[in-house]
Amino acid sequence: MRVAMIGAGYVGLVSGACFADFGHVVTCIDKDASKIARLNAGQIPIFEPGLEQLVAANVREGRLSFSTDAADAVGAADAVFIAVGTPSRRGDGYADLSYVHAAAEEVAAMVQGFTVVVTKSTVPVGTGDEIEAIIARARPDADVAVVSNPEFLREGAAISDFKRPDRVVVGTEDERAKAVMRELYRPLFLNETPILFTTRRTSELIKYAANAFLAMKITFINEMADLCEAVGADVQQVSRGIGLDGRIGRKFLHAGPGYGGSCFPKDTLALVRTAADAGSPVRLIETTVAVNDARKAAMAAKIASALGGDVAGKTIGLLGLTFKPNTDDMRDAPSLAIVPALQAMGARIQAFDPEGHEAVALMSGVHFRTSAYEVADGADAVVLITEWDQFRALDLDRLKAGMRQPVLVDLRNVYNPAEMKARGFRYSSVGRP
């Protein structure tokens, strides 16, 4: 199959490289010329484990290429994927569909022959209808089927998620489009991955329902963590105690500083808007959004209370700034709420993240360091915000030796409270005595 992937970001680049690895001929298109120039020079613009090797191998074998110009690839494509961003619209929380609409206009001008136009971006219910209308208006002669195929990959494990997904969801009732989608995902068919064919609207909603449910699950355990702190229970054991129940499941039950990232915050908000507009409000998700926002804001106070309530003039060292480990993605990371709140209380911040280089542009007044030990140097407290592997096995004596006070706030429950106490730390974590 010939595939054109519009948008070479976290989803487009990974999906494009994986489809190429399945044996298809893929062109990833992005209007960001510097991104395409880097890709053509063999550089990967994002940090995603395994992606560099996967891209290099498929470029070498002639199945994967990059361009700023969509015309040739779209004209020749059996399937054109739209994988552009759908961020929150400023101010109102609706998904900003301007990139999707623009991509649909461009595709409309270029399609030739029967083409399946696949929305991989996360888009509100009814967006497929809009894309269909845009194409029909611009090119009444075009022979296209507009399909929804939401993506469920996680940054940091994106390649294995794409190649070994729990399921693939395809929203279309068009038999020709189903055949193309089956062929595209053929290696997964052979693997017996469940492929769920639904209507387009159902498929669009499945993606939001999945993300909202996971965000709710995280928020649930975060509230349980607060309750554990109030009543002297241990949230990790609560997680295990409930997670071993197969009806509940163990994943997404890790208490922490609140969910962030490129998807949950914007997708929960967008679902709230969609549901309200449809006259069918999703109150659990409205509450999830509010609880999570409040939680991120409350983390600075938690850190301050570990230092006796006052951080004015104190130096606080932060370990990890990205929204989770194994990605360089800073979108809606909890650190973006924690840093300015601590600064507003008068704290001086020094920080290190192995890959979160974008933080330099997003945070002002932060002293960036190049290792955990530099972050601890002269610090009144060290706060573990993102659980990168290298922060799980720190030389704690060395860390403590550089600190002004041995205060460690572990927002990811990586360390053992009893051991930390034995090593002389004033240690606090989330939802544990």
Ligand X SMILES: NC(=O)c1ccc[n+]([C@@H]2O[C@H](COP(=O)([O-])OP(=O)(O)OC[C@H]3O[C@@H](n4cnc5c(N)ncnc54)[C@H](O)[C@@H]3O)[C@@H](O)[C@H]2O)c1
C-alpha closest to that of 18 among 62, 60, 63: 63
Segment lying near ligand X (by CB under 6 A), choices 77-85, 124-132, 244-252, 294-302:
77-85
Q: What is each CA distance from 49 to 10, 171, 314, 378, in whole angstroms?
A: 12, 30, 36, 33
Element (H, E) at 102: helix 98-110
By beta-carbon proximity to ligand X, the closer residue of 75 and 243 is: 75
Contact between 429 and 228 under an 8 Å Cβ cutoff? The reply is: no
Is 48 a binding residue for ligand X by CB under 6 A? The answer is no
Report the residue number, 12 or 356, with the smaller CB distance to ligand X.
12
Active site residue 228: no
Nearer Cβ to ligand X (165/431): 165
Residues 6+ apart with CB under 8 A from 422: none
Q: Which of 18, 28, 228, 263 is catalytic?
A: 263
Closest CB 107 distance from ligand X, rounded Å: 9
Evaluate whether 423 touches 416 at the Cβ level (below 8 Å). Answer: no
Residue 120: how many CB atoms within 10 A of its CB? 21
**If you write DSSP's letter for every residue of 281-326 in order, what string do you get?**
--HHHHHHHHHHHHHHHHHHHHHHHHTTT--TT-EEEEE--SSSTT
Tokens of residue 24, six digits: 């298809």
The secondary structure element, H or E, covering residue 377 is: none
333 versus 351: smaller Cβ distance to ligand X: 333
DSSP state of 29: E
Residues 357-416 that bind ligand X (CB under 6 A): none
User: 């090593």: which residue's tokens?
Assistant: 423
Cβ proximity to ligand X: between 28 and 381 the closer is 28
Pairing of strands 168-171, 25-29: unpaired
For residues 119 and 149, the answer to whether their CB atoms sit within 8 Å is yes
Would you count residue 138 as binding ligand X (CB under 6 A)?
no
Using only C-alpha atoms, what is the Rg of the chain? 23
| Options 16-24, 31-39, 283-291, 396-404: segment touching ligand X (CB under 6 A) | 31-39
CB of 215 to ligand X, least distance (A): 13
Map the footprint of ligand X across residues 279-308, applying CB under 6 A. Answer: none
Site for ligand X in 142-171 (CB under 6 A): 151, 153, 155
Single out the residue of 3, 4, 8, 215 in contact with ligand X (rule: CB under 6 A).
8
Beta-carbon contacts of residue 329 (< 8 Å; ≥ 6 apart): 10, 46, 155, 261, 262, 322, 323
Instruction: Determine the residue with CB nearest ligand X.
Output: 9
Q: Is the dihedral of CA 94, 99, 101, 104 positive or negative?
A: negative
For the bound state, the minimum distance from the C-beta of residue 328 to ligand X, rounded and expressed in Å, comes to 11
Q: Residues in contact with ligand X, total (CB under 6 A)?
A: 27
* Crossing angle for the helix pair 98-110 and 127-138, to the nearest 10 degrees: 40
Binding-site member from 4, 5, 12, 238 for ligand X (CB under 6 A): 12
Residue 82-121 contact track with ligand X, rule CB under 6 A, x = bound: -xxxx------------x--xx--x--------------x
Nearest CA to 414 among 401, 428, 402?
428
246 to 265: interface string for ligand X, x by CB under 6 A: ----------------xx--
Contact range with ligand X by CB under 6 A, out of 30-38, 184-192, 286-294, 405-413: 30-38
Q: Evaluate whether 321 touches 351 at the Cβ level (below 8 Å).
A: yes
Which residue's CB is nearer to ligand X, number 77 or number 409? Answer: 77
Supply the minimum distance, in Å, between the C-beta of residue 8 and ligand X.
Answer: 5
122 binds ligand X (CB under 6 A): yes
Q: Which of 8-16, 17-25, 271-279, 403-411 is the region at the interface with ligand X (rule: CB under 6 A)? A: 8-16
Q: Does 332 bind ligand X (CB under 6 A)?
A: no
Tell me the C-alpha distance between 378 and 382, whole Å: 10
Interface region with ligand X, contact rule CB under 6 A, candidates 6-14, 169-177, 243-251, 287-295: 6-14
Catalytic residues: 263
- List residues binding ligand X (CB under 6 A): 6-12, 29-32, 35, 83-86, 99, 102-103, 106, 121-122, 151, 153, 155, 262-263
